Structures are given as C-alpha cells and as structure tokens.
Amino acid sequence: MKKLVAICLAGAVLAGCQSTNPYTGEQQTAKSTKYAGIGVLAGALVGAAANGKDGALAGAALGGLAGAGYGAYADKQEAALRAELQGTGVQVARYGDDIKLIMPGNITFDSSDAAIKSGFYRVLGSVATVMKQYDENAIVIVGHTDSTGNEQKTNMPLSNERAMSVARYLEGQGVASARITAYGVGSSEPVASNTSPAGREQNRRVEIDLKPVVR
C-alpha cells in the first residue's frame, strides 16, 4: 500500500506536467519534470517506509525538489546553447544529465592543423559566454580524427593539440581552467565510416561534454 501511494504521487507529477510538442503533435515531458518525478518516487518510497502515508507525502515533496534541481539547470543551459549556436554548424545533443557540443573539423580547423579557424572564434566565444553563465558543469574537451595517417605519430598528437587549442581559447575567454579537461583519442571513436570522404569529415571533430560536477 505504501509503495502504491508513492507510485501514484510520481505519476501525478509526470502526468500533470506534460505538454504537446507544437512541431510533432506528440505528448512530451520536460527533462526537469522527469527528474522531479524520479525524485518524487524515491522520496515517497523512503518516506512511506518510515512514516506511512504522511511520510510518503513529505518525502515526495523533498525528493521532487532535489530531483528537479540539476535537470532544470541543464534544461536552461541547453536552451541557451541552442540559441547561441543556431546556424553555426555545431550540434547540441543531450544525454540525460550531460550536454554535448559536437564541432565538425571542417568548421573548426584546417586539414592537418591544430590552429582554430579565425571564423570560428566568434562561435567559441558564444560557447564561453554560456559556460561562464552556467558554471556548475565540468567541461571535458575531446579531439577526434579520421583514420587517415599513422595513429600514434599523426592522429593522436593532432587530436590532442586540437582539444588543447579549444581549451586554451575558452580559458582565455574567462572560463575557469579548473573546470576543464582536454585530451585527444585519435581515430579510435568514429561516428561514421572512414571509407568515404563524407564519413571521414564527420569523424574529424572536437566534442565538448558538459557534465555534472561530482562532489
């Protein structure tokens, strides 16, 4: 009975906060609401186990607040990044708590070069602005190459240098260096086939992962 009360509370939160996507017509739930629902369920179960129905209600309230916290924060940060990066060629992706920025090599670096293209400075400046406004993330910058060239002599050093170039620029724009980790992985993590020019172009990229800080 206690578990049933808890599950009903979480279901009520999720059902009450659904909306219709104006582009697809589908029902959708905001990520922050999903986190809140999970928090409600967890809090209610713990509260119910301790104090029955009243404990479930109290636990649900506290769990909902805790669960919604980072989800709501990440929702706002994601929206700010999408607004700043619209039309730039940078892809913004969301995976649970993590926000990933995927920067294709054709707009960030010239071939076999680790110097940031002059036309891309403005885009990285916009990224830095949002990162400073939302400063509760760890920032992981990862450089990638295609499979052309020697992995150890060419690809690994180039991917690392490109990641470091992005890190140095963000630091120069005022993003705290303590938040940033940067490294290269060469061609070891392709997202497309290296057998075609189009596939190799997708693989030549820098990714920035914005992750919750583990305290």
Lowest mean pLDDT among 26-35, 122-131, 196-205: 26-35
Would you give the distance in Å from CA 203 to the centre of its chain? Answer: 19
Instruction: Provide mean pLDDT across the span 28-55.
Output: 51
Does residue 140 surpass a pLDDT of 90?
A: yes
Query: What would be the CATH architecture of the domain defined by 87-212?
Result: 2-Layer Sandwich (3.30)
Lowest mean pLDDT among 18-27, 58-67, 188-197: 18-27
Report the percentage of the chain scoring pLDDT > 70: 68
State the CB neighbour count (10 A cutoff) for residue 160: 19
Structure-token match 């997202």, residue found: 191
Does residue 190 surpass a pLDDT of 90?
A: yes
Helix (H) or strand (E) holding 181: strand 180-184
pLDDT tens per residue across span 69-117: 778 999 999 999 999 999 999 999 999 999 999 999 889 998 889 999 9
Which residues of the chain are in CATH 3.30.1330.60 domains? Answer: 87-212
Paired sense of beta strands 137-144 and 180-184, if any: parallel
Give me 114's structure tokens.
């680790």
List, in order, residues 6 or more apart from 105 with CB less than 8 Å away: 145, 162, 201, 204, 205, 206
State the CB neighbour count (10 A cutoff) for residue 61: 16
Report the percentage of the chain scoring pLDDT > 90: 60
pLDDT at 179: 97
- Torsion of Cα atoms, 88 then 94 then 98 then 102, to 10°: -30
Lowest mean pLDDT among 14-18, 49-53, 73-77, 81-85: 14-18
Does residue 129 surpass a pLDDT of 60?
A: yes
Torsion-angle region of residue 182: left (phi > 0), alpha (psi -120 to 50) or beta? Answer: beta
